[in-house]
Copies of this chain bind each other. A is one copy, B any other.
Amino acid sequence: MKTRNTPVAPGGTIGIVGGGQLGRMLALAAARLGLKSCIYNDAPDAPAFQVTPHALVAPYDDLNMLSAFAEVCDAVTFEFENLPAHAIAHLAERVVVRPGAHALAMTQDRLTEKTFVEKLGLKTAPFFEVSSAEQAREAFSKLNGKGILKTRRFGYDGKGQAKVTSAEEAAKAFESFKGAPAILEGFVDFSYEASVVAARSADGGFAAYDPPENEHENHILRRSSVPSRLSAKQVENAKAIAKAIGDALDYAGVFAVELFVGKDGELLVNEIAPRVHNSGHWTIEACQCSQFEQHIRAVAGWPLGDPIRHADAVMENIIGAEADAWQSLAASGALHLYGKTESRPGRKMGHVTRLKPLTKP
Residues in A lying within 8 Å of B, measured CB to CB: 7, 9-11, 24, 28, 31-34, 36, 49-53, 55, 285-286, 288-289, 293, 297, 302-303, 305-306, 310-311, 323, 326-327, 330-331, 333-339, 341, 350, 353-355, 357-358, 361
Contacts of A305 in B (CB 8 A): 330, 334
- Nearest B residue to A336 via CB reads B32
If the complex has contacts A53-B55, A285-B288, A323-B10, are A337 and B34 also in contact, measured as CB distance less than 8 A?
yes
If the complex has contacts A52-B53, A288-B355, A357-B361, are A34 and B338 also in contact, measured as CB distance less than 8 A?
yes
5 tightest CB-CB pairs across the interface, nearest first? A34-B337, A303-B331, A310-B311, A288-B355, A53-B53
The reply to whether A357 and B310 form a contact with Cβ atoms under 8 Å apart is yes
Counting chain B CB atoms within 10 Å of each CB, the highest count among A33, A51, A305 belongs to A51
The reply to whether B336 and A33 form a contact with Cβ atoms under 8 Å apart is yes
For the complex, what is the distance from the CA of A10 to the CA of B336, rounded to whole Å? 10
The reply to whether A327 and B339 form a contact with Cβ atoms under 8 Å apart is no
Report the minimum CB–CB distance from A224 to chain B (whole Å): 16
For the complex, what is the distance from the CA of A5 to the CA of B14, rounded to whole Å? 40
Please name 8 pairs of A and B residues whose Cβ atoms are closer than 8 Å in the assembled complex, sorted by A. Answer: A7-B327, A24-B31, A32-B337, A33-B335, A288-B353, A289-B334, A303-B330, A310-B310
The reply to whether B357 and A297 form a contact with Cβ atoms under 8 Å apart is no
For the complex, what is the distance from the CA of A310 to the CA of B288, rounded to whole Å? 11
For the complex, what is the distance from the CA of A32 to the CA of B284, rounded to whole Å? 11
The reply to whether B297 and A330 form a contact with Cβ atoms under 8 Å apart is yes
For the complex, what is the distance from the CA of A303 to the CA of B289, rounded to whole Å? 26
The reply to whether B28 and A310 form a contact with Cβ atoms under 8 Å apart is no
Contacts of A333 in B (CB 8 A): 288, 306
- Nearest B residue to A302 via CB reads B330
The reply to whether B288 and A339 form a contact with Cβ atoms under 8 Å apart is no
For the complex, what is the distance from the CA of A289 to the CA of B151, rounded to whole Å? 41
Report the minimum CB–CB distance from A33 to chain B (whole Å): 6
For the complex, what is the distance from the CA of A220 to the CA of B241, rounded to whole Å? 48
Contacts of A338 in B (CB 8 A): 34
Contacts of A350 in B (CB 8 A): 34
- Nearest B residue to A353 via CB reads B288
